[in-house]
Amino acid sequence: MLYVLATTNAGEVLKVPMFVEHFMEYEGNLSEFVMEHYDNHKKDADWDLDQKLPFINPPIVLTVHAQLPDYTFEIKKPKEIRVPQKNSIYQEKDFSNLYLSNIFQPPRLS
């Protein structure tokens, strides 16, 4: 647990009481407080106290920039493929029907 708190932003949760205490001293509402302290905060009289607020200085170890590539895909309708019929040299009508009773018969095209 100590390792997780030291190396991740989970340790910043322990600084929440400092956030509440500093907000109680602040004159204004919560949105003004957050905008002033977390949106390009400039040095002021309580700069050292502001640096102790949670998520002001995230650990550098875990600062990672990842960009996923843009993948696009398109499903195209399959094209109809026509196979031309070949003219066969075999024609049944040219042969007699006697060969039908034999085991050995000429090849047929289906």
Q: pLDDT (tens digit, 9 = 90+) per residue, 56-97?
A: 876 565 555 678 788 887 888 888 888 777 776 666 565 566
pLDDT band at 6 (very low <50, low <70, confident <90, very high): low
For a pLDDT cut of 90, what percent of the chain falls above it? 0
Look-up: residue for tokens 């205490």? 21
Rama region for 66: left / alpha / beta (φ>0; ψ in -120 to 50; rest): beta
Cα separation, 40 vs 63, in Å, equals 18
Domain ranges of the chain: 1-51
Cα separation, 61 vs 8, in Å, equals 8
Residue of 56, 46, 45, 59 whose CA lies nearest to 15: 56
